[in-house]
Structure 1
Amino acid sequence: MAQSPATADQGHECLIEPNQRIEIRSPATALIERVLVDRGAQVRAGDVLVVLDGTVDQAALVGAKQRAASQSELQVAQARVDYAREKYRRREDLRQQNYITAQERDEAQAELKVAEAELALAVDNRKLAGHEALRLEAVVRQRQLRAPFAGVVTDRLQQPGELAFTGEGARPILKLAQTHPLRVEVVLPVALIGSIKPGRSAEIVPESPLKGSWRATVKVVDRVIDSASGSFGVRLELANPKGEIPAGVKCRVRFL
């Protein structure tokens, strides 16, 4: 006999799971300097988890910043332009008085153009050094691998002194599960398809020996029904800011 929508108030079996699971890998091949967390550690979003060796990048960053801040190349190039401009002005005056040939005047003009081009190149080089410093700052920041969300370290696979490789096939350094918020998965009979909508509240009661109950909110209602079982899936979001609710726990859900 088909279940009526009224049974939505009765409990249904559910499962509390991490909102997502990720693997922490190195963005580049590098030596692991420090691993600051171990399996089971609770972390907050932004916490530093792993520090990679960045000695070479730090040295390159210092050099790029010095080049970007240096005025020496610009001052030398500007002095050459000033000298070449004054030289050309004098030769132009002499040419007007027929004291020198047109070729001598043209040579001074060519020297001025070369000096101006060298000044423009010095300006460009300084800008490029500034861009390189910004790039290296980003590289140095990547030497600290941070938690993208609040969660729990579920595994630690590499240690300080090991070489971390990049790429999808590379061995991860850590595995992390997001525990705030948690997600609650439940499968409901098709008779309830119209009564469960996103935004609806529900009470989550964990299985023994855990006690208490928590309030969750419907986030996803599947639009495709499983014809074989006559059911559809629903996902709820369960706030867990203090990390007190464990993931992987069976539960019962009662829609309010």
Structure 2
Amino acid sequence: MAPAWSNTTVASYDCLIEPAQTVELGTPVSGLLEHVTVKRGDKITRNEVLANLESHVEQTAAELAHYKSQLNGPTELAQSKIEFSQRKFERRHDLAQAQLMAKQDSDDAESELQQAQAELTEAKENREVARLDYLHEMSQLNLRTIRSPFDGVVVDQMMWPGEIVEPGATKHAVLKIAQLNPLRVRVVMPLRAFGDVHVGTGASVASEIEPNTPYSAKVTSVDRIVDAASGTFVVFMDLPNPKLDLPAGVKCKAALRN
């Protein structure tokens, strides 16, 4: 985390350091919660598996669909039929052209060749259907695994192994996680400062737990609506926190750079 600028700054404003986002994680399907691999306070990374539902049936279905999608027998059988029918048709066609065989025998051989070609097409189509079925089963299986959508920390655990997860129920979230890099700084500013701050403006932020250690932040959003009752508006800043050494949920002071 970089230190704040040392050049002259303007007035200091009260602010609050918040997580960039806080998310409650659950699943879109019902099932028995089998494993939770993290606990409150753990650091997590994007796409890390955090929990999963019992999925033996879905796993078996996916393995069966994968096996069917890899079957080569029907395609190879149809291909061999085509090769045999092709040779048979060519021989009979030549004999029929030389008037040594009835034209009907040549037509029958041609029909067998066309049927073999149709069987090969059907075998390829069935294999493609099996491949798509495997992708569908894997998608269903993946719905039973909870992964982290970003780097962050576990804020709370609401369900435990052995409980039933039911989407739409009052208790449906398994874990609550927060993104702490970057942090979001909420600054409440008076009406007189409206127009003086813009997106991209730099600032120096010092938290109440480290008042003598300022950090660099940058304005990312400025409210376009002023609260009439208090005569204030809100400005949001991004505060880099790569080592996660600065906690969220603490008060701070923010001073805009000239």
Structure 1 residues 108, 208: closer, same or farther in 2, change over 3 A? closer
Which residue number in structure 2 is paired with residue 3 of structure 1?
none
Contact 1:182/1:239 (<8 A) preserved: yes
1:82 Cα deviation after fit? 1.8
Structure 1 residues 26, 100: closer, same or farther in 2, change over 3 A? same
What TM-score do you get using the length of structure 2 for normalisation?
Answer: 0.83
Q: What's the CA shift string for 1:81-132, capped at 9, x where partnerless? A: 1222233233333433555544443333222211100011112222333344
Which residue number in structure 2 is paired with residue 33 of structure 1?
34
Which residue number in structure 1 is paired with residue 163 of structure 2?
162
* Long gaps (5+) in structure 1: 1-7
Which residue number in structure 2 is paired with residue 222 of structure 1?
223
Q: What's the CA shift string for 1:45-79, capped at 9, x where partnerless? A: 33321133332333333333333333221111111
1:170 Cα deviation after fit? 6.5
The one-letter amino acid paired with 1:13 is D
Q: 1:207 and 1:66 mapped to 2: Cα distance?
A: 60
1:163 Cα deviation after fit? 2.7
Identity among equivalent pairs (%): 37
Contact 1:31/1:53 (<8 A) preserved: yes
The one-letter amino acid paired with 1:84 is S
Which residue number in structure 2 is paired with residue 235 of structure 1?
236
Which residue number in structure 2 is paired with residue 21 of structure 1?
22
The alignment's C-alpha RMSD in Å is 2.7
Residues 74-83 or 144-153, more deviating: 144-153
The one-letter amino acid paired with 1:21 is T
Residues 107-116 or 13-22, more deviating: 107-116
Residues 91-100 or 81-90, more deviating: 91-100
Q: What's the CA shift string for 1:136-177, capped at 9, x where partnerless? A: 445444443221122232221211122323458761111112
Q: 2:120 and 2:25 mapped to 1: Cα distance?
A: 47
Q: 2:130 and 2:169 mapped to 1: Cα distance?
A: 32
The count of corresponding residues between Structure 1 and Structure 2 is 249
Structure 1 residues 94, 167: closer, same or farther in 2, change over 3 A? farther
What TM-score do you get using the length of structure 1 for normalisation?
Answer: 0.83
